[in-house]
Amino acid sequence: MPVEVPSVPADQTRACGVRAPGYRHGVRIDGSVIVVTGASSGIGRATAVELAAQGARLALLARRDEALAQVAAECAAAAGTDGRTLVVPTDVSDADAVEAAARATVERFGRLDGWVSCAAVTMFGSLLDVPLADLRRVLEINLLGYVHGARAALPRFVAQDAGVLVNVSSLLGRIAQPYGSAYTMSKFAIRGLSVALREELRAVRGVSISTVLPAAVDTPIYAAAANHSGRVPQPPPPVYSAERVARVIVGQLRRPRREVVAGGVLGRAFVLQHIVAPRFAERVLALDVERSLRHDGAVPPTSGALHVPGAAPAGVDGGWGGARRERRRRTAGWVAAAAGALCVTAARRWRATDGRRARPGGRS
């Protein structure tokens, strides 16, 4: 059945469309209306708070209503005002529920300018060991959830010739991870979904689709994971903070690009390494994953938050010290840069002194 697209009043169309050199249309965040899925925890939660602080009006989607209410309160505190956030408890694997959430958002705020698909679950274990029901559920949430988001958002964007869809994939959508095949498949598929949609909507100049590829991020996703590996999963280093990824997502809403890595220089270097030497990069990642599934003895199998939410506390970070590690890496970077500059200066001075000595009549 085709999705019914509510008409948008003329004065509201393109209300948030801005053109920036080298970019397609983006969203002026202040005053815009944005849906964030997966807003109860981790990157989605950090994105919601960042958007609220920049003046956006938000619809927050996830399954846990109490956690969403807390996020709404955090958004109100960040915005310094109430009434700009709509909480819509939604399971993104239910297409009708996602469409209803989009309709409720437009009813409440009058329009829709951006949609961030972030809701996801993950699962650890060999493809041969994981229950098929769990594998299907990962694909239902991580892939069909994004399809449902696109089918709810894009008809409205097309009708007003303005809007940005941000699909949060992963570096694992470019470089496959063993013992996480369902998650990896979903993240590869999201990149394909974005590319296909972008081409289908090429003629609609005001609509943009951006894919964000975060590196390992400190969020509760590892504690909420389904786990059939027998070991305790943890993020492979380097680990980044959810707030950092949130800033990248907000940047994509404002100035959308096709695909961006959210994981600093190291994340981009890893992608480059995969382009240059794919087998080597895949082996390095596999070793990292094998190491990061710690040998803590037999951990009983669990479906985590796949079928029922709440396997891990909702919060922005997952206790892996992402922000602290980020600060340490930044300090180490500055120290290395300062040491390098010092060495260059010393070498130049030494060469200058040496040159004077070597010249006839120079001091010895």
Least distance (Å) between residue 206 CB and ligand NAP? 26
- Name which of 160 and 186 has its Cβ closer to ligand NAP: 186
Report the residue number, 118 or 152, with the smaller CB distance to ligand NAP: 118
Instruction: Tell me the closest approach of the beta carbon of residue 121 to ligand NAP, in angstroms.
Output: 5
Our CB check for ligand NAP shows the closer of 162 and 217 to be: 217
Smallest distance, ligand NAP to C-beta of residue 51, A: 15
Task: Report the b/e string of 191-208 with b at 16+ CB within 10 A.
Answer: bebbeebbeebeebebbb
Q: How far apart are CA 233 and CA 226, in angstroms?
A: 10
Nearer to ligand NAP, 131 or 310 (CB): 310
Q: How far is the CB of 349 from ligand NAP (least distance, A)?
A: 46
Return residues touching ligand NAP (CB under 6 A).
37-44, 62-64, 67, 90-93, 118-121, 141, 168, 170, 214, 216-217, 219-221, 224, 235, 242, 305, 309
Helix residue spans in 89-180 (DSSP H): 95-109, 132-139, 145-160
Shortest distance, CB of residue 333 to ligand NAP, whole angstroms? 21
Closer by beta carbon to ligand NAP, 37 or else 160: 37
- Terminal CA-CA length for the chain: 91
Q: Which is nearer to ligand NAP, 87 or 162 (CB)?
A: 87
From 118, 74, 159, 160, select the one nearest 252 (Cα to Cα).
Answer: 118
Cα 140 to Cα 60, 75, 115, 154, 273, distances in angstroms: 20, 29, 19, 20, 31
User: What residue type is 299 in one-letter code?
Assistant: V
Supply the minimum distance, in Å, between the C-beta of residue 90 and ligand NAP.
6
Specify whether the backbone of 288 is left (phi greater than 0), alpha (psi in -120 to 50) or beta: alpha
The reply to whether 222 belongs to the active site is: no
17 or 322: whose CB is closer to ligand NAP? Answer: 322
Out of 23, 146, 179, 183, the active site residue is 183
Q: How far is the CB of 299 from ligand NAP (least distance, A)?
A: 18
Name the residue number minimizing CB distance to ligand NAP. 42
The tokens describing 253, both together, are 């809403």
User: Residue 168's closest CA among 129, 221, 206?
Assistant: 221
Distance (Å, whole) CA 173 – CA 190: 8
- Strands (DSSP E) along the chain, which ranges? 17-18, 26-27, 33-37, 57-62, 85-89, 114-117, 123-124, 163-168, 207-214, 217-218, 226-227, 240-241, 259-262
How long is the chain? 364
**Nearest-approach distance from CB 170 to ligand NAP, in angstroms:** 4
Q: Check residue 239 and report its DSSP letter.
A: P
Count other Cβ atoms within 10 Å, centred on residue 21. 5
User: 86 or 168: whose CB is closer to ligand NAP?
Assistant: 168
Q: What is the Cα–Cα distance from 4 to 12, expressed in whole angstroms?
A: 19
Contact present, 219 and 311 (Cβ < 8 Å): no
In the block, which residue shows the tokens 């996801």?
Answer: 120
List residues with catalytic annotation.
Answer: 183
